[in-house]
Structure 1
Amino acid sequence: MHVQDRLYIDGGWVASRGTDVIEVVSPHTEEVIGRVPDGTPADMDAAVAAARGAFDTGPWPRMEPGERAALMGRLSELYAARQPEMAEIITAEMGSSITFSQIGQVPIAHAVLDFYARLADSVAWETERPGMLGPVTVRREPVGVTAAIVPWNTPQFLIMTKLAPALLAGCTAVVKPAPETPLDAHLFAQLVDEAGFPPGVVNIVPAGRETGEHLVRHPDVDKVAFTGSTAVGRRIGAICAEQMKRCSLELGGKSAAVILEDADLDTYVGWLPMAAFLISGQACGAQTRVLAPRGRFDEVVERVAAYARSARLGDPFDPATEIGPLVTSRQRDRVEGYIRLGQEEGAKLVAGGGRGGFDRGWYVEPTVFAGDNSMRIAREEIFGPVLVVIPYEDEDEAIRIANDSEYGLCGSVWTADERHGMEVARRIRTGVCGVNMFILDPASPFGGVKASGVGRELGPEGLDGYLEYKSIPRTG
């Protein structure tokens, strides 16, 4: 049992202003495995005040970028040593298989932190240029106090995509973890404290939606960085627009994998666990539409279904498990509702659809439908291990179907001709589109178009959202 009774605010461990607690429930056993304070609006006020003071009068924004990077490097070293513990906590909280937590969840979070810790020397923090009226100095300065609001599916990675660039830029931050996954954030706060950041630079307050909205609306927050549903992202975007507040929104997706006539299905199926069923399909970039040429449609359906039937569903702490449970009973109910809807719409259920024989734990079998792009199961983000295989007549129709979505986050093209695959990828309107692979590269920008969000995270471009340009013209 993980029991914590303090919040990390202003460089120390403090009692919550409220008495409510968040109970963390194992998605495998359905038993309570942890308790932490449920952050209140007053707690958020204290965290924002600490971040505001640290930004306005503290040393952090006034340090040289290399000095900030050195302290981030110290945090990276501490993080590296605690990776096994962090992986176990994430698996216990949200059901990610221990294998993926060990090789994906935690290492990629560490890689993002390390990337930004090493980026400082390559950034043009201040440049000189000849202006039309005289010389101009152009500076890049931190945007201010940042609110980082993250979901439960890849909690450490998504904290890092926001906090690491914010810290390098010289911002201070309030991090609000999801109530489903506060335990990993508490361990991370311990590492921040041990690294020796100045008080108020990093504050971590787990809380629910209402307290999260209080954080978004806080007048002393200069920028909001959010990952989550498109519906919540629209609300956050509207609030930020009212206050002329900066925001970046990494939202939902309904990504398509386009399988061309000459594709090697062995290659595609080899990537299928990562592309479609990662974290039991609870990933915004999950490629849950599979577009197959009409002449190979039955073959593709059967190959995808065969993987779904063979994938090992079960205890996330078993190293042999490929697919763990969904995060909550509420999420399982949602996914099962879509499975029923797909059948009602006339889609053919070719694999899965049940609970895998589990009478405890929030399990849903990897599920495969054969259908078309007009169905709700092909248009709405399910956030579960459910995909639909859709036929197309020719390449132009495949691209049209791939783009026929309110979302535009990820995608992929599978072909024996990589050069041609690049041509097709350029025509698919998404923020990321792999060719014969599906993976996010921490050194390259990630984000979406349309309802998939605003702004980019990762890569050098991920730093831009935490910096403002200042021009200083002079007479010479």
Structure 2
Amino acid sequence: MRQHDTLFIGGDWVAPAGTGTIDVVSPHTEEVVGRVPDGTAADMDRAVAAARQAFDHGPWPRMTMAERAAVVGRLAEIYASRQEEMAELITMEMGSPITFSRMAQAPQPLGMLQYYAELGRTFPVEEERPGTFGPVTVRREPVGVVAAVVPWNVPQFVIMIKLAPALVAGCTVVVKPAPETPLDSYLLAEMVKEAGVPDGVVNIVAAGREAGEHLVSHPGVDKVAFTGSTAAGRRIAAICGEQLKRCTLELGGKSAAIILDDCDLPSAMGFLSIATLMNNGQACVAQTRILASRNRYDEVVEAVAGMVRAMPVGDPADPATGIGPLVAERQRERVENYIRIGIDEGAKPVLGGLERPRDRGWYVAPTVFAGATNEMRIAREEIFGPVLTVIPYENEDDAVRIANDSDYGLHGTVWTADPGHGVEIARRVRTGSYGVNLLMIENSSPFGGYKSSGLGRELGPEGLAAYLEYKSIARLG
């Protein structure tokens, strides 16, 4: 069992203010596999004070962006050497299949570090513009102390999508990992210290909701970067609005995969399986609404059911596993409740249902619903599990209408033999990102959502700009 009795604050391992602990429970065995301190409001105060000191008086924001990028580059080199350890750790603590952990959970955070290390070497910090009476210098400066509040599903991905650009920008950061997945953040803290990041620039305190809200509302925090549920995002937005505090919110999704009639279903299923069921369906970008024309509806339902059937359910540490357990017992109960709702609403489970595939562990049967409409709750609410709903459409205009008929707008895909036409479809769907014949989040491109899927963008130069304030300096002559 991995056990930690300290917190990472001010560049050092310090004793927590309280005596509470967080047990990390394996979703596969239901056994405790780790234990860490449960951070308190006092711990958050200490972390913010360390970050505030490092920003107000330390060297980090006063270094050039290129100098900070070089440090982030060193962190990337260390991260690369410990990728496998990180992948195995995340699989152990939250049940992500090891193949997905090796493909995404560890490599994507590394890619973000590498991307921002490179971008920071050339990103323009100042530029000259013509003014009425003389030149104007437009300067970009770090926003200040950042609270990074992250969920459990892709813990390193959502830490790094905030931490990497914030560091290059010159900010200092307090990271609050989710209580379900604190172990990977301790490994990250070791790497941060080894890379030579100055004391107080990165602070990590795992905690629950109350301590998290204390961090978000702390007057010493200049910006909040949050990934999680839309309900929690609304609460954070209200706090930030009251304090006029900057915030970036990446929230829920209920994305639609549009299957056009010219799609070659056998070749599409490999990529669609990732787009729909990655990380056991616990992904905000998951394409959980599958839209099929009435001309090919039965054929698409059969192909999707076959795709899911071919993904073995089992031990997430086994490379042969396609779908592992859900992160917690409460999450299994939530997903099973939605399966009941779907049946009660009149949708037909052509695969899966309420019979559990294993006696031990927080497993649910991967489920495919047919005979569904876009008005059903299983088509409108984020389930966050291996549950897919196949919805018929009349024509392409109707498909676009259904895709847009959602409170969310995070991601979407279209599957077609004509990629050019797929781009035309993409332009009509109101989401922050879109894929033609694949689902891909690119480090170089902005990521975020429309409508209830959030505020602001992460990744790309836009993700770096989110941690910078603009200052205009006008002068005479």
What is the TM-score of this pair, normalised by structure 2?
0.99
Q: How does 1:135-214 map to 2 (within 5 A)?
A: 135-214=135-214
Q: How does 1:17-416 map to 2 (within 5 A)?
A: 17-370=17-370, 371-416=372-417
**Cα separation, 2, equivalents of 1:142 and 1:358:** 50
Deviation at 1:331, TM superposition (A): 0.1
**Cα separation, 2, equivalents of 1:49 and 1:401:** 48
- Aligned residue identity for 1:458: L
Deviation at 1:166, TM superposition (A): 0.3
Cα shift readout 1:318-365 (whole Å, capped 9, x = no counterpart): 110011100000000000000000000000110112455311000012
SS in 2 for 1:276: helix
**Cα separation, 2, equivalents of 1:273 and 1:109:** 22
**Cα separation, 2, equivalents of 1:294 and 1:33:** 48
- Aligned residue identity for 2:470: Y
Report the equivalent of 1:420.
421
SS in 1 for 2:52: helix
Deviation at 1:309, TM superposition (A): 1.8
**Cα separation, 2, equivalents of 1:72 and 1:331:** 35
Does residue 441 of structure 1 match 2:442?
yes
Q: How large is the RMSD of aligned CA atoms in angstroms?
A: 0.8
**Cα separation, 2, equivalents of 1:62 and 1:266:** 55
Deviation at 1:59, TM superposition (A): 0.4
Deviation at 1:439, TM superposition (A): 1.4
Deviation at 1:393, TM superposition (A): 0.5
- Contiguous gaps of at least 5 residues in structure 1: none
What is the TM-score of this pair, normalised by structure 1?
0.99
Deviation at 1:273, TM superposition (A): 2.2
Cα shift readout 1:47-96 (whole Å, capped 9, x = no counterpart): 00000010001000000111101111111111111111111110000000
User: What is the number of equivalent residue pairs in this alignment?
Assistant: 476
Report the equivalent of 2:461.
460
SS in 1 for 2:286: coil
**Cα separation, 1, equivalents of 2:266 and 2:132:** 59
Cα shift readout 1:253-296 (whole Å, capped 9, x = no counterpart): 00000111111112321112211111111000000000001100
**Cα separation, 2, equivalents of 1:307 and 1:475:** 68
SS in 1 for 2:106: helix
- Aligned residue identity for 2:396: E
Q: Which runs of 4+ in 1 moved over 4 A?
A: none
- Aligned residue identity for 1:77: E
**Cα separation, 2, equivalents of 1:369 and 1:246:** 41
Deviation at 1:450, TM superposition (A): 0.0
| Contact 2:351 2:366 survives alignment (8 Å) | yes
**Cα separation, 2, equivalents of 1:345 and 1:354:** 15
Stretch of structure 1 that moved more, 409-418 or 346-355: 346-355
**Cα separation, 2, equivalents of 1:203 and 1:273:** 37
Cα shift readout 1:162-217 (whole Å, capped 9, x = no counterpart): 00000000000000000000000011001111111111100000000110000000
Deviation at 1:122, TM superposition (A): 2.6
